[in-house]
Amino acid sequence: MASIGQIVEQTPSSEVLSRAQARAALVPDCMVEAKRIANTVIAGWHGRRKRGMGENFWQFRPYAEGESLSRIDWRRSARDDHTYVRDREWEAAHTVWLWADMSPSMMYRSTFAHVSKESRALVLMLALAEILARSGERIGCPGIMEPVSARNAAERLAAAIMHAPLTTGLPETSMIRGQSDIVLIGDFLDDADKVMERIAPLGRRGLRGHVVEIADPAEETFPYAGRTEFTDPETGEKLVSGRAEMIREDYQRAYLARREALGEALRRLGWSFVFHRTDHLASEALAAVHGYLSGMPAQKPGGLQSGGGMP
């Protein structure tokens, strides 16, 4: 029988460029998919849900001493004996940094999933870029694209990715300043401690972070049986298990424990953690991440588990 998992693009480890090209070829498709799912999420878009600078009406509130009289809404105030101020929704533009892991392990796709983890990560990143760009946020990608505020930020991000060199691991984040949001998309298969070593400095610098773990169903359920040789796509290490089905439960326990530890550490940091399986709909993860971004944690939609949330 065919093996359960495979590396989607057979890329020689040395030819970084060609893999970048392969990824670039992947991006337009991801862009299309990203726009499609972004539309489904935008349909339920209701602003930032905060009082602030903006054009849309937010609320009426009683006039307080010292406020500018010009802000009084006379039409409303005329209805009774009080004076009201019309608040508008806060529409201050944020900088949101998006980053997706492009390491070889992300190129894994099993027969149980429709797309590779990398594809799903790109789709999520571009879709987020599209959504955020439409709501006027500044979109950046560490090491790839400086934050820009433009309607076509998603396209520009896609173009930047297509031309970006291959990177592995977390990017250089020194250019990130101030109260930015950062969305990290990857498989985070390292130890939770190792991942947190990288992430914790960001959190301590005041960044609001959102971590999306992309997992293949085969990685989670371990559907192997019989004598099986496992290969690590990054290091090329090999492991042979005589009876793969015998270690299924142990593996699942270890795998979930890692995820649990990661989620717990992120929650302590004040970050949100979403994990997503590639056999589920991308929009589920997108809605969850977007919910966190807009300050409203997702209502745990079916099929999506939330590993953590905003305090």
Partner 1 sequence: MMSALAFANPAILFGLIALPIIWWLLRLTPPRPKTEVFPPLRILASVLKREETPSKSPWWLTLLRMLLAAAVILAIADPVMNPRANSLNAGGPLVLVIDNGWATAADWERRVETADLLIDDAESADVPVSIAFTADASHEPVPGTAAAARDKLAAASPKPLVPDRARAAEAVSEAMNGTRPGTLVILSDGMAAAGDNEALSALAALSPTDMRLIEGDGHSAVALTDAVNNAGAMSVTATRLSTSAQQLLTVNALDTQGRALASGVLEFAAGAATATAEIASPFELRNDFARLNIEGLATAGSAHLLDDGFKRRRIALLAGESGSDFQPLLQPLYYISRALQPYADIIQPNTADLSVSIPQILEGNPSAIIMADIGRLPAETYAPLQQWISRGGTLIRFAGPRLAAAPADDPLVPVILRQGERALGGAMSWSEPQSLADFPSFGPFAGMPRAADITVTRQVLAEPTPALAERTWASLADGTPLITEKEVEAGRIVLFHTSAEATWSNLPLSGNFVEMLRRLVQLARAGGAASSGTGTDGAAVTLPPYRLLTADGILTTETGTARPIPIAAGETPVASFDHPPGLYGTEDGFTAVNLLAPKAVIAPFDAAAAGRPVVREGLAGGEAVSLRPALFAAAFALLVLDSLVVLFMNGVFSRIPRGPRPSRGAAAAAIAALAFGLVAFVPGQPLAQEMPPGSGAKPGDEQILERLDTTHLAYVVTGEADVDRLSEQGMEGLSQFLTYRTTLEPGAPVGLDISKDELSFYPIIYWPISANAPMPSQATISRIDAYMRNGGTVLFDTRDQYSALDGGGTTPNGERLQAILANIDIPPLEPTPSDHVLTRSFYLLTNFPGRYTGSPLWVEARQEARNTGAQLSSSGDGVTPLLITGNDFAGAWAIDTQGAPVMPTVPPDEMQREYAYRAGVNIMMYMLTGNYKADQVHVPALLERLGQ
Which residues bind to partner 1, rule: CB under 8 A?
Answer: 1, 3-7, 105-106, 108, 187, 189-191, 216, 218-219, 224, 226-235, 237, 239-243, 245-247, 249-251, 254-255, 258
Q: Is 215 left (phi over 0), alpha (psi -120 to 50) or beta?
A: beta
- 234 contacts 104 by C-beta, under 8 angstroms: yes
Helix (H, G, I), strand (E, B) or coil at 306: strand
Residue 51 DSSP one-character state: B
Residue number with CB closer to partner 1 (291 or 307)? 307
CB of 251 to partner 1, least distance (A): 5
Distance separating alpha carbons of residues 47 and 39, to the nearest angstrom = 15
Map tokens 């009774």 to a residue: 80
CB of 170 to partner 1, least distance (A): 17
Burial class (CB in 10 A: 0-12, 13-18, 19+), 54: middle
Helix (H, G, I), strand (E, B) or coil at 130: helix
CB of 288 to partner 1, least distance (A): 22
Residue number with CB closer to partner 1 (64 or 239)? 239
Distance separating alpha carbons of residues 59 and 85, to the nearest angstrom = 8
Phi, psi of 209 (to 5 degrees): -120, 150
Residue number with CB closer to partner 1 (210 or 258)? 258
Residue number with CB closer to partner 1 (156 or 248)? 248
CA distances (Å), 147 to each of 150, 175, 177, in order? Answer: 10, 10, 11
Residue number with CB closer to partner 1 (7 or 16)? 7
First to last CA, the chain: 48
CB of 249 to partner 1, least distance (A): 7
**Cα angle, residue 154 at apex, residues 152 and 156 outer, rounded to 5°:** 70
CB of 169 to partner 1, least distance (A): 15
CB of 250 to partner 1, least distance (A): 4
Phi, psi of 99 (to 5 degrees): -145, 135
